[in-house]
Amino acid sequence: GSKGYKSLGAGMSAGTLPFQLSGNVKRPGLVEAPFGIGLEELIYGFGGGTASGRPVKAVQIGGPLGAYFPSSAVKEIRLTYEDLASRGGMLGHGGIVVFDDRADMADLARRSLEFAGIESCGKCTPCRLGSMRSHEFLERIMEGDNAPANRAVLKEIFAASANLSLCGLGGMMHLPVESLMRHFPGEFGLK
């Protein structure tokens, strides 16, 4: 019943969620668990760790436009709406993708912007043009072309898209790229 369901979970995230565990894990699949489960328990307890046997480098949480978190955060993260929001992420539909230490973080950022460009319906300018232009500025940053100035422009594009887009696609396309640049600056030639 509803009381039993509400007794599960943590904080304002009551009940359970089917988490989709994928990427470099031994046992990918759906795991229905109460909100508040630790990310470490999900990856190692249910997923069996990495399929490659190599160390976890990053985990993307929330779907294709979710934020990335480094391995150092895996022990700390509780899968609730509140915890992820406080860390600059989102739980989204509960998608969790695991990457080992061979993953190229800059390439993942590039792919997320390509995804946003392909998925944009084209109705609103901030998303339609923002996804294309942000991809251009990301490439400039990765080529070492005046990274600070291009990073500032990229942030402006992301802010416009987040604040002016008509749907969540444009509003969230900054999450994966910003989180990757924050946690793995060296892979973008940033300090």
Sign of CA dihedral 57, 14, 8, 63: negative
The upper half-sphere exposure of residue 56, i.e. CA atoms within 13 Å in the direction of its Cβ, equals 27
Contact 13, 61 (CB under 8 A): no
- CA dist 54 to 39, 49, 50, 75, 99, Å? 17, 9, 6, 17, 9
| Sequential pLDDT tens for the chain (191 residues) | 999 999 999 999 999 999 999 999 999 999 999 999 999 999 999 999 999 999 999 999 999 999 999 999 999 999 999 999 999 999 999 999 999 999 999 999 999 999 999 999 999 999 999 999 999 999 999 998 888 899 999 999 999 999 999 999 999 999 999 999 999 999 988 87
Nearest-angstrom CA–CA distance, 184 and 170? 23
Closest CA to 63 of 34, 39, 92: 92
